[in-house]
Structure 1
């Protein structure tokens, strides 16, 4: 623990690009290969610190403001701050504090990954450990840069560790081709370095393959649909789709550790972070001492229910306890109504009735006790006050099934599309007769909305398919670039003359 505290102290000085303090503060020292990375324990501390950045309060929860509120999935409670309202109303400016927090946090995470990348290779560690740690760090650098490009488009690629103030002015990449070449290179190396090694909260070879499939799919659909700046990607959309199919195929057919879970509620059981669906999931535990180590994510989605513990019905006729919440992310009726009447994703995962500890109903949406239907994807029955172990679901097996379905748009992809629908209890598509490639891909996007609602994915699907304005009325009248990318925060532009 002392070593982890030392690296936190040292690297805290190294975030000039995204510092929340004045850049007039001169760093006093840094932990580098000369005075820190001496043992494998040092490097393990450093990689855990890089993962820890993903759980920052200004990163994990804020992602949902960006990727859910700006869509047809959720609205925000009326008295939430103006910066949150701006996402719902598509009035986000470069002064938005939530956006600034997100931007800053992503680059903190990137810098922590770079610290590992630059201080491991060739230092005499066991080759197996070196490859594993480098692979995880490369995955994290790519994961965070991918979040940057999805949110902001062309933004600085931080390819090396920032440990001096004069290194905080990285230029913008030349074009999207440079961005995606960088992402693909990092993930290709990560795949080569990593093995299949499931550990909750950490990435392995399958996570890297899954992320690379998502990167290829994003580029493919963005180029095919005419998203601004994606015409610079030199690879054809067809080839990019083929690569997305290839890497998602590796995940679906080349391993036996992860697979399709037939029980929907199992997927969201807070005590099962290593369930078959979870390729990459954050590690957050109610026993943590600081927010970020523990999670308050459930509070954002659950409405205020009078301050009492309430119970939700499970599909096995048992009941699960939950606290009430802050009513921040509120389900839109369009999302709720998009589910068929038999869809288990609505009937088992969206709450419309609450009970007492004896299973007696104490309120419904109809009588107004529940102000809106809410998701139970983030429920922890062993909550300790506001502290829970609820975790963001970053990459699920079902996600990669639908990546494969969309990328292939053929009968093989249809099998995975139908597996998702069968689990949900809705009708399957018998074949692709009379359905074009584009029409089937549209069906997959619709399925993704129902499958990954509340998981921080919807805006990225709308953006890469250039259908934000088709689905979100508040975005009407904006320019193509304003729809495709959030503005880089003004504070970062002021600090970096190369943006």
Structure 2
């Protein structure tokens, strides 16, 4: 990690959020970092909130990019320069957008490390509360590392586990030490292992979802089920399907999550900056709309409503006209004389919609896919999971039966198509493409360009100790 970045990280640490009784309030509040912050529950709670806020800030930087570099999305010339460079394999290691993504996720995990170091040393409040705060820090660190691995890990999602991932920093930063803080990248396998360990350790000290008395708290703060859900995503990325099945089944044992009958409860219209509740199928997200109109905080940065991003022609043709995801969650728009379909999942023109990070359909379809990859034949349980998602959007249909699929591979292809339709524009389609060996936006993009370059400044400040990804040497 470069000296300049660590100093920027310290500046980020000085921004905390206050927390209300039931959920994290996302309005930032300047707080000087002092040892007293970690002595009592109320101020430590603000420190935890600030760490979530840094994760939110990081997510605003790459949410759209994960869609605009995948084949399910197309975009206008007005916003296309950076995406064109990425999609054509021409992006340079000195690109400021890539540097911002890299630094923002490291800023979140640097602060998570601060909590993990300071709370046991200085905390004088109840042990159960201290353990929960530390567990939340581990969840945030795991989420940040999984995102970094997806963007920068060389072949991380393409089953190349011994290649270079990203640098693991697990210690509290206490002044720059060149010998200690400059280090080479860990392997993809090592980073995956750390993510899994953080989440498994966090589960032990987090509340079960039924202990969180309202939906906002359950979605905006980590709990045992949230960690199980992120473990499922992690194992799907790693192509460890047996563990994905095990953790998906563990997640499904929690009764607090359910598919909504009405898709507009999941992604409701929000023309007047109203406070919008999370739905019963939201597992993790950021409650932007409940920020009380605090414009210092800002929005989610997701402005699909301005019609610069839309469903690709290939994906839109896969929807039946009667599919509710098309009739309720898309708007038709004319671009250069052609009809395109823009997602309505984020309808507020000021970016005041709640930010979806993990949603139940991902878990259901991950379980169906992982079960199929572990099986020799299609069975009814897999088909039922697929139908849960398909029939919610197509209620007039009769649903699939086992005999509809001639092979397990044919079933998996159908699950992946359903997944593309259901989860498009939710900030991780690119990673689904990589982990399933399907093409990105540019079908001709070589494998060594399917990962971002390590930002040039990271390589330079380390005097070459941090090696560049192969496609950018």
Alpha-carbon distance between aligned partners in 1 of 2:294 and 2:370, rounded to the nearest angstrom: 43
Determine if the alignment matches structure 1 residue 467 to structure 2 residue 438: yes
Tell me the equivalent position of 2:14. Answer: none
Change (3 A) 1:91 1:405: same
SS of the equivalent of 1:248 reads: helix
Determine if the alignment matches structure 1 residue 40 to structure 2 residue 41: yes
Residues 295 and 391 of structure 1 are in contact (CA less than 8 Å); yes or no, is this contact kept in structure 2? no
Alpha-carbon distance between aligned partners in 1 of 2:72 and 2:138, rounded to the nearest angstrom: 32
Alpha-carbon distance between aligned partners in 2 of 1:99 and 1:166, rounded to the nearest angstrom: 25
Determine if the alignment matches structure 1 residue 330 to structure 2 residue 310: yes
- Structure 1 runs of 4+ aligned residues shifted over 4 Å read 17-21, 364-368
Q: Normalising by structure 1, what TM-score?
A: 0.76
Change (3 A) 1:411 1:242: farther
SS of the equivalent of 1:79 reads: helix
Alpha-carbon distance between aligned partners in 1 of 2:4 and 2:281, rounded to the nearest angstrom: 36
Determine if the alignment matches structure 1 residue 156 to structure 2 residue 167: yes
More helix by percentage: 2
TM alignment of 1:448-467, pairs within 5 A: 448-467=419-438
Deviation string for 1:288-335 (max 9, x for gaps)? 4446x231545x212xxxxxxxxxxxxxxxxxxxxxx3x332332222
Deviation string for 1:77-108 (max 9, x for gaps)? 21326323323434322122211111110101
Residue 149 (structure 1) shift: 0.6
Alpha-carbon distance between aligned partners in 2 of 1:366 and 1:330, rounded to the nearest angstrom: 10
Determine if the alignment matches structure 1 residue 423 to structure 2 residue 392: yes
Residue 152 (structure 1) shift: 0.8
SS of the equivalent of 1:395 reads: strand
Alpha-carbon distance between aligned partners in 1 of 2:143 and 2:321, rounded to the nearest angstrom: 36
Tell me the equivalent position of 2:98. Answer: 99
SS of the equivalent of 2:317 reads: helix
CA RMSD of aligned residues (A): 2.8
Determine if the alignment matches structure 1 residue 491 to structure 2 residue 460: no
TM alignment of 1:33-112, pairs within 5 A: 34-56=35-57, 59-80=58-79, 82-112=81-111
Residue 181 (structure 1) shift: 1.1
TM alignment of 1:398-409, pairs within 5 A: 398-409=361-372
Residue 39 (structure 1) shift: 1.0
Determine if the alignment matches structure 1 residue 248 to structure 2 residue 261: no
Determine if the alignment matches structure 1 residue 192 to structure 2 residue 243: no
TM alignment of 1:432-451, pairs within 5 A: 434-451=405-422
Tell me the equivalent position of 2:470. Answer: none
Alpha-carbon distance between aligned partners in 1 of 2:398 and 2:87, rounded to the nearest angstrom: 33
Alpha-carbon distance between aligned partners in 1 of 2:184 and 2:336, rounded to the nearest angstrom: 54
Q: Normalising by structure 2, what TM-score?
A: 0.79
Change (3 A) 1:170 1:436: farther
Residues 287 and 294 of structure 1 are in contact (CA less than 8 Å); yes or no, is this contact kept in structure 2? no
Alpha-carbon distance between aligned partners in 2 of 1:142 and 1:119, rounded to the nearest angstrom: 19
Residue 265 (structure 1) shift: 1.3
Q: How many residues get paired?
A: 410
Q: Extract unaligned runs of 5+ from structure 2.
A: 12-31, 154-164, 373-378, 467-473
Residues 69 and 87 of structure 2 are in contact (CA less than 8 Å); yes or no, is this contact kept in structure 1? yes
Alpha-carbon distance between aligned partners in 1 of 2:88 and 2:264, rounded to the nearest angstrom: 33
